[in-house]
Amino acid sequence: MAVEALLGHWDSPTMLSNNYYLYENPSPTMFEFIPYDLDNTLDNDWLGADWGTYSFIDWGLGLWNSKTRSYVVPEIPDFQNRYLSYVGTLRPGVFNPE
């Protein structure tokens, strides 16, 4: 979710609850997200929004679907703190334009 927000990837599992496959990996038993259709990233847009300036806090609320998995992130302090920690770690390092 933090990487999607930093990339401006609005057409994603955390914003629209689409463009992914869910794979049940039998060993170890866990589910894995496999994203696809990543053409609307890096602020690429056909909706007229400026995703590069969209709030990191509001990112997980989703655009049209309040039932996305990420919708609970702002509602649960531990999840929100972990998410903001990831954004805070990635933003000045990996996502630093300099």
Single pTM value for the model: 0.69
Tens digits of per-residue pLDDT, 27-68? 888 888 888 888 777 766 666 766 667 776 666 555 545 555
Q: In whole angstroms, what is the distance from residue 56 CA to residue 54 CA?
A: 6
Q: What share of the chain is helix, strand, coil (3-state, %, to 5)?
A: 40, 15, 45
Tens digits of per-residue pLDDT, 75-95? 778 888 888 899 889 888 887
> What average pLDDT does range 2-7 have in this prediction?
82
